[in-house]
Chain A
């Protein structure tokens, strides 16, 4: 099975630059030739009756968590409004933005998979709201995530590689506050609203979805126009601080903190999620904010399993997986040195220990 280690893929003269990650004229053709595109990935054996139990959807937990999340956002927003004009507003803004955007990433993710709720319209409402709060165009990112699941960390195929190699620390730091990515995404919204679609996006968004991209972008432009008009009318930054790009910039750090644990430092171009994903044990507060996405091996291997069943899925397959990280601290003790090594040697990656022998299939 082709891996990052095989000379057939890597080759002795592969200099490995960030250009390899372009979906057009990047390393995608090399990946295709090496059999890595839309390939068969390793799956831990799970008996079908057990898998059916794990895939069962429900509304209750997502309703509870969504009500709680928005209650926290509203409370933090009230504190921000109350302290507006004082020095305390900066702290209040940080807390508000963290709650507004931080958990929106995991809600975007779960609702995008259709597994947050059993009731479809509830998934769709949460998806659209979370997209706005995390600043991701709904259709583009639905399809980019589908591609991410098909070709996870395949260089030149996966549009969602969090840390393209060699590591660009300046870029990482800027993206911690969406300083580059936020305005770039808004620029793309404007272009989509004018009917101009990105060439790379067209490679993973089917043509029949392109009109939807334009419609969504126009809706977002209208929302931003209302926010800007409100700010001008009330002669206050408050509408723009409560909604839109500014709270996204203030809150991105939280989902980046969680999200880097998913794949950073692990090998690209392998066909086994146990090698290129991390499962990290987290405390209940983190797991509420991150909606159990810390069970990332499990999620990639079986994306049909809803967030609330991922701990049980973990228990079912853990004997056939590398040992989970006991905490985010343990994960970052591996990630940070790996990123520094990858800045100098982009062929470096962390090797996760796999069980000695595969479990027998059911």
Chain B
């Protein structure tokens, strides 16, 4: 059975931005772009830096420490210095609230 965990109100995430969401000892990054939401692991696979401090440019999150880039839709690492993909989680908006499958 799939469990959806409530994250926040959609308006709490600016468009083309990211927030940190911690749940049951795990850190996630939740993104919003053009009113769609996405969720990945919250730490960069390179040096475990929080992606919530990074830069979202359309569907790309860039790590704030070394500019490692990932596609937020499927977690693909897009080039050096990141080589390992990010794990992604289903995310949805219902009634103005963001949910992820944590």
Contacts and interface: CB of A to CB of B under 8 A. Distances in A.
Interface residues of A, number: 21
Contacts of A175: none
Contacts of B80: 139, 142-143, 206, 209
Interface string A189-225: 0000000000000000010110000000000000000
Main secondary structure of the interface of B (DSSP, over half): loop
Interface in A135-171: 139, 142-143, 146, 149-150
23 contacts: A38-B48, A52-B17, A57-B57, A113-B67, A114-B67, A115-B67, A139-B80, A143-B81, A146-B46, A146-B66, A149-B65, A150-B47, A150-B65, A206-B81, A208-B83, A209-B80, A303-B64, A303-B66, A303-B67, A304-B54, A304-B55, A304-B62, A304-B64
Nearest to B81: A146
B66 A150 contact: yes
A302 interface: yes
B14 to A, nearest CB: 8
Interface string B60-79: 00101111000000000000
B64 A142 contact: no
B62 A303 contact: no
B17 A38 contact: no
Given A143-B81, A149-B66, A303-B67, 15 more contacts: A38-B47, A52-B14, A113-B67, A115-B67, A142-B80, A146-B46, A146-B66, A149-B65, A150-B47, A206-B83, A302-B64, A303-B66, A304-B54, A304-B64, A304-B67
Interface string B8-31: 000000100100000000000000
Contacts of B53: 51
Q: Top 3 nearest A-B pairs by Cβ distance?
A: A146-B66, A114-B67, A146-B81
A62 B80 CA distance: 22
B37 to A, nearest CB: 17
Interface in B74-92: 80-81, 83
A110 B80 CA distance: 15
A55 interface: yes
Contacts of B17: 52
Contacts of A142: 80-81
A49 B64 CA distance: 15
A233 to B, nearest CB: 38
A182 B48 CA distance: 35
A304 B66 CA distance: 8
Interface string B39-50: 000000011100
Nearest to B56: A52
Contacts of B83: 206, 208
A302 B53 CA distance: 10
Contacts of A208: 83
Contacts of A206: 80-81, 83
Contacts of B48: 38
